[in-house]
Amino acid sequence: MKNPEVLFISGSPGLGHATGDLAIVHVGATSSIELTSLKKPFIYFPLEQHFEQANVARILKERGAGNEMKFSKTSPELLADKIVEQLNTNSKNIELPANGAKKAVILILPLLNHSIN
């Protein structure tokens, strides 16, 4: 790949996720789920000793989404190699559950009915 374009996206990253060939993220839940849903390759760096990000990283690993790296164990050369590897690998077709809202309604509705009576 000659002369790759590097974009730094902050705020609402949706457009960047949809148009980019590869993302490098800190493993926030929303970004990670968006990238997985879009079937985009991504490298994620969970903040070490951060409970929420460790949990998101665990879920991604279980589902085979993205590629985890550690800030403390990554050199510029290793990151460059991983970027090239990810760009030359087909994205995995990972299915994400799409029934979360329905499950929430089933759990919450009885609570609302109980509080009204």
Taking the whole predicted model, whether its pTM rises above 0.75 is answered as no
Phi, psi of 24 (to 5 degrees): -120, 115
For 69-112, write each residue's pLDDT tens digit: 999 999 999 999 999 998 887 766 677 777 888 888 898 988 88
Q: What is residue 46's predicted lDDT score, i.e. its pLDDT?
A: 92
Q: Is residue 56 part of a domain?
A: yes
Q: What is residue 44's predicted lDDT score, i.e. its pLDDT?
A: 94
Q: Is residue 8 part of a domain?
A: no
Q: Is residue 3 part of a domain?
A: no
Do residues 40 and 15 lie in contact, with contact meaning Cβ atoms separated by under 8 Å? no
Helix axes 51-63, 29-37, angle to 10 degrees: 20
Q: Is residue 4 part of a domain?
A: no
Q: Is residue 2 part of a domain?
A: no
Q: Is residue 111 part of a domain?
A: yes
Structural domain boundaries, residue 68: 14-116
What is the number of domains present in the chain?
A: 1
Q: Is residue 109 part of a domain?
A: yes
State how far the Cα of 38 lies from the Cα of 44, in Å rounded to an integer. 15
**What CATH number is given to the structural domain containing 70?**
3.40.50.2000
Tokens of 52: 């929420």
State how far the Cα of 2 lies from the Cα of 30, in Å rounded to an integer. 31
Alpha carbon distances (Å) from 41 to 11, 36, 88, 114: 20, 8, 10, 45
Q: Is residue 99 part of a domain?
A: yes
